Chain A
């Protein structure tokens, strides 16, 4: 091959070579570019302001804690009841993550199968829609009766709620591969598996990740809602049961503490899925790349 590369074309200085990879040159504070900070500080400031208002309102009006506890009391309760609450949190998170994992596996697998066979998609997709549109609260009791095992029932409920966004997004993604690229793969005699692996799956990644962001939150909601319906007691119960229990016992601060934990878990899940999406797409997808103009 040496004979062919005797006179390589030299890279040019101007015209079409002017666009070099863009590297951020902005000054950084604590690892983040200066311009990113207002976006972080502003919501935190608003949050602190609202909490202070809340605390002040509760104190000035003398609102009893069984109606509306102040934020400080909630935090104190959270610390005092950490043992019970953290155990419940773990139970809920375990169900959530297991359901999300199942949603990813089943959602992506079904999407791949559907795009390989139009007939399978046509015959099965309506049932996925039915599962999606039926309120989980309405079918949860049935599932609990049929399955028997409470943990498994909760997992199935959370899975039903969370798998659809992954399924439908991934289907769109798998079908959205550039038509010319599909032609190119044809030209080079790529088989189905190669087209799937090197073209359709990567093309579907941004869509899948968008679905994952939605499904992460839904899995948590599903887990909590199903537990409300199941109303499991005992040591293996999750945050939803703790909320129910606190309601019965008028331990409202504890109810708020449990609520806070659910919200924080949801935020954490969203943050993690968003970070995964950002890391996976930042080099190439328009939704994640930093633009200079």
Chain B
């Protein structure tokens, strides 16, 4: 695969490159994670994530992409290496104010709280007043297409709607970066396509940064400006390339020859990563 020397950009997206020339939003240097049972989950990952970028971490299960995402989120420190937030405000003790939202594979909603209170949670925990939090949560609920369901409880919603609530909750604090851990993997294909489109629309409107973990080549190509392919045992970065297709993308893009070509490229990179 001459196209794909490791860690090099075979196809490049101008936008992503231009952004990277500036200071990245998140910068990982030689990050490794070893679990207490000895498993080396990730080894020596270098990664710069540009502000406003839509980046997918693509790889087979067990390649440490979720672990990497959690480390970026601050859920568990790396065993070695550094993560820096060059453009973030740092507090007195040197901790970066990361301003992130996280979407788990499961919607992870509080079953005892209705949609509004679930979406309000990050604001509640930040001790925002109700007068401030309710309109912000309501606006976000409308933005993900769930207006009218504010008083519904999670169990009264379908899987896709629950995931929308989860996304609304992650975005309600207006984070600079949205971390998504295979958020749509458990959904049916029709729902997944719809949520893909809506996620892209939200990203296009609001210009936050997205790091999207997936094992689906098609999903990563459809969504991303840039795809980082990871290999397993130990988890490491195998390829890193841009998806050079303009936004907004829609079903026309999904059926285009260009989409097919990039999917093939990404599939080959993934196959190589699995074989490695």
Using CB atoms and an 8 Å cutoff, list the residues of chain A in contact with chain B. Answer: 1, 4-12, 15-22, 178, 180-181, 183-190, 194, 198-199, 202-203, 205, 283-286, 289
Interface of chain B residues 132 through 186 with chain A (CB within 8 A): 136, 139, 142-148, 152-161, 164
When each residue 185-206 of chain B gets 1 if its CB lies under 8 Å from chain A and 0 otherwise, what string results? Answer: 0011011001100100110011
A187 touches B160 (CB 8 A): no
Judge if B111 is at the interface, Cβ distance under 8 Å.
yes
* Residues in A neighbouring B142, C-beta threshold 8 A: 5, 8
- Selected from B111, B121, B125, the residue in CB contact (under 8 A) with A285 is B111
Measured in the bound complex, the distance between the Cα atoms of B144 and A16 in whole Å is 12
* Residues in B neighbouring A21, C-beta threshold 8 A: 152, 156
Residue in B110, B112, B113 whose Cβ sees the most chain A Cβ within 10 Å: B112
Given contacts A19-B156, A183-B75, contact A9 B125 (CB under 8 A): no
Measured in the bound complex, the distance between the Cα atoms of B122 and A183 in whole Å is 12
B121 touches A16 (CB 8 A): no
Using CB atoms and an 8 Å cutoff, list the residues of chain B in contact with chain A. Answer: 73-75, 100, 102, 104, 106, 108, 110-113, 121-122, 124-126, 136, 139, 142-148, 152-161, 164, 187-188, 190-191, 194-195, 198, 201-202, 205-206
- Selected from A5, A15, A185, A286, the residue in CB contact (under 8 A) with B125 is A185
Which 8 A-B pairs rank lowest in CB-CB distance, beginning with the nearest? Answer: A16-B160, A19-B158, A9-B145, A16-B191, A180-B108, A21-B156, A188-B125, A202-B112
User: What's the least CB distance linking A15 to chain B, in Å?
Assistant: 5
Measured in the bound complex, the distance between the Cα atoms of B113 and A198 in whole Å is 10
Given contacts A15-B194, A180-B104, A285-B111, contact A198 B145 (CB under 8 A): no
* Residues in A neighbouring B139, C-beta threshold 8 A: 1, 5
User: What's the least CB distance linking A91 to chain B, in Å?
Assistant: 38
* Residues in A neighbouring B126, C-beta threshold 8 A: 188-189
Given contacts A15-B190, A187-B74, A285-B111, contact A7 B201 (CB under 8 A): yes
Determine the residue in chain B with the shortest Cβ distance to A289: B155
What are 22 inter-chain pairs, A to B, with CB distance below 8 A?
A5-B139, A7-B201, A7-B205, A8-B142, A8-B143, A11-B147, A12-B145, A12-B194, A16-B158, A16-B159, A16-B195, A21-B156, A180-B104, A180-B108, A185-B125, A187-B73, A187-B100, A188-B126, A198-B110, A202-B110, A205-B112, A284-B112
* Residues in A neighbouring B125, C-beta threshold 8 A: 185, 188-190, 194, 198
B74 touches A17 (CB 8 A): no
* Residues in B neighbouring A10, C-beta threshold 8 A: 145
Measured in the bound complex, the distance between the Cα atoms of B127 and A194 in whole Å is 10
Beyond A8-B143, A16-B194, A284-B112: 6 further Cβ-contacts under 8 Å? A9-B144, A11-B148, A20-B156, A183-B102, A283-B112, A284-B111
Determine the residue in chain B with the shortest Cβ distance to A202: B112
* Residues in B neighbouring A184, C-beta threshold 8 A: 102, 104, 108, 121
* Residues in A neighbouring B136, C-beta threshold 8 A: 1
Measured in the bound complex, the distance between the Cα atoms of B143 and A19 in whole Å is 19
Residue in A187, A203, A205 whose Cβ sees the most chain B Cβ within 10 Å: A187
Determine the residue in chain B with the shortest Cβ distance to A18: B158
Measured in the bound complex, the distance between the Cα atoms of B74 and A185 in whole Å is 12
User: What's the least CB distance linking A87 to chain B, in Å?
Assistant: 42
Given contacts A11-B146, A185-B125, A202-B110, contact A284 B201 (CB under 8 A): no
